[in-house]
Amino acid sequence: MAQQPAGSTRLPRRRSPTARVLGLAGELLVTLGVVLALFVAYSLWWTDLLADRQADQDGRRLRGSWTVPGDAAPAGLDAGGIGFLHVPAMGRGYSVLIKLGTDPAVLNQGVAGVYTQPFGPAMPWDPSGNFALAAHRDGHGARFHDLDAVSKGDPIVVETRDHWYVYRVDAVLDRTTEDDVGVVAPVPAKAGYTKPGRYITLTTCTPVYTSEYRTAVWGSLVRVDPVDAKRTLPGELR
């Protein structure tokens, strides 16, 4: 085979137009994949980190305000929080700060928010009503990520400065539309309730990583325990 003369230079082979297009498309796909990965990391990990930090600070601030004499409800509301939600079925030691409102500015703080519309908020200490809460399923703390682990008969406990409000889950709705406002009505009929009572509702998006539908958990109050000096947990949380 004839050898190329010394000192000569082999010219690079020209890429065909098709190869150049495919190469450019590959580079764009790689770039898109990196951007999507960064977006997912921001949406889940980074927003969780920020929400956890803020919720922890706000929770400690609220508990600090409880050392000031006064009525439990006004003190909690003035401090930017109402109390804490405890749901053992969603994990050992599960505790979430509760604030008023369900708009993103509230829920993105990594809290459970109280519905203020279309029916107006009903607090645990009210003689009747539906204490309806919402929280994110994913990102921004994902406080209700494991709401699907809650089932009929499970306890739900709301902690305020002076009382433990102990509820028992009566019904679960796996899926409904985001327009189904009856889920948070004062007497949610889909839960099987037919008359006013002291109810609690937990709602979030479903399926996981989507916001296409809503899921709901309903419970009714079974008792109210006073908080003692040591803040001894009720039996459901021990």
Q: Cite the active site residues.
A: 205
| Chain length of the chain | 238
Instruction: Give pLDDT tens digits for 158-201.
Output: 999 999 999 999 999 999 999 999 999 999 999 999 999 999 99
Q: What is the pLDDT of residue 73?
A: 47
Split at pLDDT 50, 70, 90, the class of 131 is: very high
Q: What is the pLDDT of residue 47?
A: 81
Helix (H, G, I), strand (E, B) or coil at 128: coil
Q: What is the pLDDT of residue 12?
A: 60
Split at pLDDT 50, 70, 90, the class of 38 is: very low
Percent of the chain past pLDDT 70, that is, above it, reads 76
Are β-strands 95-100 and 112-114 bridged in parallel, bridged antiparallel, or unpaired?
Answer: parallel
Average model confidence (pLDDT) across the chain? 86
Instruction: Give pLDDT tens digits for 3-22.
Output: 555 555 565 666 677 766 66
Beta-carbon contacts of 82 under 8 Å, excluding residues fewer than 6 positions away, are: 73, 76, 98, 99, 100, 114, 123, 160
Q: What is the pLDDT of residue 49?
A: 83
Q: What is the pLDDT of residue 74?
A: 46
Q: What is the pLDDT of residue 78?
A: 44
Distance CA 208, CA 74 (A): 36
Q: What is the pLDDT of residue 137?
A: 95
Nearest C-alpha neighbor of 164 from the set 236, 99, 68, 116: 236
CA 5 to chain CA mean position, Å? 73
Cis bond leading into 207, ω under 30°?
yes
**Which tokens hold the place of 99?**
């604030």
Domain 43-237 annotated CATH 1.20.1740.10: no
CA dihedral 86, 118, 180, 55 (to 10 degrees): -30
